Amino acid sequence: MGAATAGQQAGGTPDKLRHVESMSERPSGAGSISGISAVVLGESLADEEHELVFPSAEFSATALVSSPQQYKEMYERSIKDPAGFWSEIADAFYWKEKWNPSEVCSENLDVSKGPVHISWFKGGKTNICYNAVDRNVEAGNGDKIALYWEGNEPGQDGKLTYSELVEKVCQLANYLKSVGVGKGDAVIIYLPMLLELPIAMLACARIGAVHSVVFAGFSADSLAQRIVDCKPKLVLTCNAVKRGPKPILLKDIVDAALVESEKNGFSVGICLTYENQSVMKRQDTKWQAGRDVWWQDVVTNFPTKCDVEWVDAEDPLFLLYTSGSTGKPKGVMHTSGGYMVYTATTFKYAFDYKPTDIYWCTADCGWITGHSYVTYGPLLNGAAVLVFEGTPNYPNAGRCWDIVDKYKVSIFYTAPTLVRSLMRDGDEYVTRYSRKSLRVLGSVGEPINPSAWRWFYNVVGDSKCPISDTWWQTETGGFMMTPLPGAWPQKPGSATFPFFGVQPVIVDEKGQEIEGECSGYLCIKKSWPGAFRTLYGDHDRYETTYFKPFAGYYFTGDGCSRDKDGYHWLTGRVDDVINVSGHRIGTAEVESALVSHPQCAEAAVVGVEHEVKGQGIYAFVTLVDGIPYSEELRKSLIAKVRTQIGAFAAPDRIHWAPGLPKTRSGKIMRRILRKIAAKQLDELGDISTLADPGVVDQLIALKDC
């Protein structure tokens, strides 16, 4: 179906809606679904506020989970018999030694009953690298492409088959062993999205070393913090990278971090550096003899076969540092067996993966999404994965769709921030490309507002691709709630229902579970295989942060609403909930209302002190290109929020924002926005990780407009 008319885009009814009978089967606890209009994917546009969007009969016919009834049966089994459910799935992987059948899962999530602990597949020995790479070669898929690589500049590309990938991994693993890296040793990886990044992760996993990937956009101070905390045997990096037209001298950042870590009592002996020749030659790279080693000079000399280190299911696989409220990063620790089984399974079902799919996740491996859904989850399924070094809007806003057409991408997984950014640049950058290969779309990182969902679905997906709107966290290891694209109908902006084995509950401030239609704090009442096991070196903080707020539950830190049909709607972090005159308002709700205004491209909302209300709502608003700031528009934006949420949610202040402060992965740095809103300009802190630090000065200049 073609583009909607202006009236349809504003909320009118499309001409060709095929209404579908309401659904009678729901997961336990879901309310009845009745009186809601529904459309079938591929037949009409999604533009009604409360409609259900169904997969087409053709999509469901070949889907791994093809109906609500099938989902319900699988889900109920996963809850009633988690040991049997997950053991059956785990059996599909290679285990050197089988786990103890009586100890598939052991847990205590209740701090009042002793130390918190979680374990899965106790006694089992396996290796995630072997299962992700060697097993695919042994199955006869050695000639299948494992990794495609698209460089920063159009025309730069590469690829590795599964056979080639295992050889590259083995060479690096042999080098690491030669310099003393062994089971349990930490390795810091500070690399951009070159093929060497997933290769490095897999090489560490092969020999039982614990990798800690640090996003190659963090400052030297942030990198040094992580080095001092996990004390790696060596650091892997490259000399430089380009992001868009801008060169970044990564080796200089690493050098500064190594100096800083030495001041804090820890010295790294080896810095293995990949020469990224398209950006910087080795003769132009600063060098410290005796410590620095060129990757190309040593790694390629090692054998292409390397024995696998078989590790216990509960041995650590990686550390990934995430921000903490104290300012000290938290070293989230994931282990091998459960994480392997969970990431592979979530990838398979959430994207309805087929062996013919070409899969592209735009995330960087410096974040959990790049671990679970660029590297491990897809490769464990034998997928062909696209690794993208560049930025999605360079050299223009059509780059994503150019890449989709070039590689015939069928599954495209990205963040709402990117979706909104591309919306702002206009449909023509999308529609000039075919995109006919696309089959499933995905969203990750934050709640996606309904207007962005609809644009993603209608324009990018041509009204035929289901959207897997995934909710999960660094700590969870994999998806916790997501639509299964062939089964449940979708509501734009809802994460829908829990994944297999996940038991979400919504509790009130006293920790009491709330049934039916409600809002509150999102908790999980039982463990799942992909759960993190501790915070490295600080188990007390692990318990205090995640398990003490509500005894007996894992507290996600997120707010959540459940509607009358049982669908879940994430409302943002509870520290991003504003209490205005006794009304608890999720910042994501206000942002969604603002972005639904046709002249608003993006919005970020924070709370500020208010002498009458306690807290007021302060909104940073980025307008669609070409729209001028005006008092009339300011009033119109406030009216939109009043209409969609209520007068109590109306922003007290609209702050015009040519751009928002974001990390290079697209995350909005609300910490900075809070300081600007509170006029605490001398407390902005480190802005070096921002994609464009100049945005901060622009916002400060406009603070009184």
The pLDDT, as a whole number, for residue 578 is 80
For residue range 509-554, what is the model confidence (pLDDT) as tens digits? 899 999 999 999 999 999 999 999 999 999 999 999 999 999 999 9
The pLDDT, as a whole number, for residue 35 is 35
Residue 626: what are its φ and ψ, rounded to 5°? 90, -10
- For the beta sheet containing 186-190, the strands, ordered from the edge strand earlier in sequence to the opposite edge, are 292-294, 270-274, 234-238, 186-190, 210-213, 316-322, 330-335, 534-535
Residues 6+ apart with CB under 8 A from 120: 86, 104, 105, 313, 314, 337, 338, 341, 527, 529
Active-site residue, 575 included: yes
Q: What integer is the mean pLDDT of 126-130? A: 98
Indicate which residue of 81, 307, 575, 697 is catalytic: 575
Has residue 61 got a pLDDT over 80? Answer: yes
Has residue 483 got a pLDDT over 90? Answer: yes
CA 543 to each of CA 161, 331, 553: distance values in angstroms, whole numbers, following the listed order: 43, 14, 11
**pLDDT tier, 609 (very low <50, low <70, confident <90, very high otherwise):** confident
For residue range 366-389, what is the model confidence (pLDDT) as tens digits? 999 999 999 999 999 999 999 999
The pLDDT, as a whole number, for residue 446 is 81
The pLDDT, as a whole number, for residue 20 is 32
Has residue 28 got a pLDDT over 70? Answer: no
Higher pLDDT pick, 33 / 309: 309
The pLDDT, as a whole number, for residue 669 is 86
Residue 617: what are its φ and ψ, rounded to 5°? -105, 125
Q: What integer is the mean pLDDT of 164-183? A: 98
The pLDDT, as a whole number, for residue 229 is 95
Has residue 12 got a pLDDT over 80? Answer: no
Has residue 206 got a pLDDT over 80? Answer: yes
Has residue 154 got a pLDDT over 50? Answer: yes
Query: What are the start-end ranges of the H helices in 290-330?
Result: 295-298
The pLDDT, as a whole number, for residue 681 is 86
Q: What integer is the mean pLDDT of 388-405? A: 95
Whether the model clears a pTM of 0.85, i.e. scores above it, the answer is no
For residue range 546-599, what is the model confidence (pLDDT) as tens digits? 999 999 999 999 999 999 999 999 987 787 778 776 566 778 889 988 999 999
Neighbours of 421 (CB within 10 A): 21
The pLDDT, as a whole number, for residue 462 is 96
Has residue 14 got a pLDDT over 90? Answer: no
Q: What integer is the mean pLDDT of 173-197? A: 98
Query: What are the start-end ranges of the H helices in 490-630?
Result: 539-546, 587-595
Residue 143: what are its φ and ψ, rounded to 5°? -90, -5
Q: Do 470 and 458 touch, CB atoms closer than 8 A?
A: no
The pLDDT, as a whole number, for residue 323 is 65
Q: Which range (194-203, 323-332, 462-471) has the least confidence?
A: 323-332
For residue range 409-446, what is the model confidence (pLDDT) as tens digits? 999 999 888 898 898 889 999 999 999 999 999 999 88
Q: Which range (22-36, 194-208, 209-223, 302-316) has the least confidence?
A: 22-36
The pLDDT, as a whole number, for residue 583 is 64
Q: What integer is the mean pLDDT of 482-496? A: 94
**pLDDT tier, 4 (very low <50, low <70, confident <90, very high otherwise):** very low
The pLDDT, as a whole number, for residue 221 is 83
Handedness of CA 564, 566, 567, 572 (dihedral sign): positive
Q: What integer is the mean pLDDT of 21-40? A: 39
3-state secondary structure of 256: helix
Q: What integer is the mean pLDDT of 165-175? A: 98
Percent of the chain's residues with pLDDT above 90: 76
Has residue 318 got a pLDDT over 60? Answer: yes
The pLDDT, as a whole number, for residue 665 is 66
Strand duo 292-294 + 270-274: pairing: parallel
Q: Do 296 and 168 touch, CB atoms closer than 8 A?
A: no
Q: Do 479 and 450 touch, CB atoms closer than 8 A?
A: no
Paired strand residues for 663 = 690
- The encoded tokens of residue 681 equal 């300009």
Q: Single out the residue of 128, 134, 267, 149 nearest to residue 211, CA to CA.
A: 128
**pLDDT tier, 19 (very low <50, low <70, confident <90, very high otherwise):** very low
The pLDDT, as a whole number, for residue 614 is 72
